[in-house]
């Protein structure tokens, strides 16, 4: 993991604290950093206060219409290596996750357009996962036991 400052904005789900601690033990991220990104919005600096408020209102409105989500961690894997190393991930199986993301994207679209220019691109695929950390070289991803996963709150994160 790099020590560089994070500059992005996202809408994320954070697991229950005990579940985040168990996932953090398998990787290099702290339990406070363990999350599932539903929508990556881009650079936080690209949003003014009015846009931020509109995004937070849209997320709150969607959250009010959805019950907490639960499911399980279904294994581990990795993505292609990048500048920080190879991202090691927990695979998740959560009923309702895709529907929640779709509702968020629909609600967020008016908030990310300013004077006809799009501030964030919501046309991105979705591979639900939780990043556990980054490994260097040919290190294998950790072996994760199947375990519960509970998301009771949704957050907008401005880094």
Residue keyed to tokens 């229950």: 16
**Whole-angstrom distance, CA of residue 108 vs CA of residue 16:** 25
Q: What is the pLDDT of residue 41?
A: 86
CB atoms within 10 A of CB 137: 7
| Residue 1 binned pLDDT confidence (cut-offs 50, 70, 90) | very low
pTM of the model: 0.87
**Whole-angstrom distance, CA of residue 108 vs CA of residue 122:** 9
pLDDT in tens, 96-141: 999 999 999 889 887 766 554 455 666 667 899 999 999 888 777 7
- DSSP code of 119? S
Indicate left, alpha or beta for 115 from its phi (over 0: left) and psi (-120 to 50: alpha).
Answer: left
Q: Residue 75 in contact with residue 144, Cβ under 8 Å?
A: yes
**Whole-angstrom distance, CA of residue 109 vs CA of residue 28:** 34
Reading the block at residue 85, the tokens are 């190393």
pLDDT in tens, 21-60: 999 999 889 999 999 999 888 888 888 898 899 999 999 9
Q: Residue 147 in contact with residue 19, Cβ under 8 Å?
A: yes
The DSSP secondary structure of 121-137, one letter per residue, reads --------EEEEEEE-T
Reading the block at residue 142, the tokens are 């950790």
pLDDT in tens, 67-98: 999 999 988 998 898 898 899 999 999 999 99
Give the containing element (helix H, strand E) for 152.
strand 147-158
Q: What is the pLDDT of residue 159?
A: 83
Q: What is the pLDDT of residue 56?
A: 95
């Amino acid at each position: 993991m790099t020590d560089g400052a994070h500059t992005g904005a996202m809408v994320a789900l954070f697991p229950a604290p005990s579940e985040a601690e168990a996932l953090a033990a398998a990787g290099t991220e702290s339990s406070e950093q363990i999350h599932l990104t539903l929508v990556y919005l881009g650079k936080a600096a690209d949003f003014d206060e009015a846009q931020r408020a509109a995004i937070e209102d849209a997320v709150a409105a969607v959250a009010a219409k959805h019950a907490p989500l639960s499911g399980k961690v279904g294994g581990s894997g990795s993505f292609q290596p990048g500048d920080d190393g190879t991202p090691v991930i927990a695979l998740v199986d959560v009923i309702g996750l895709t529907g929640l993301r779709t509702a968020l994207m629909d609600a967020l679209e008016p908030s990310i357009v300013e004077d006809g220019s799009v501030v964030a691109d919501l046309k991105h695929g979705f591979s639900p996962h939780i990043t556990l950390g980054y490994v260097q070289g040919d290190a294998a991803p950790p072996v994760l036991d199947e375990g519960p996963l509970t998301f009771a709150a949704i957050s907008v994160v401005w880094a």
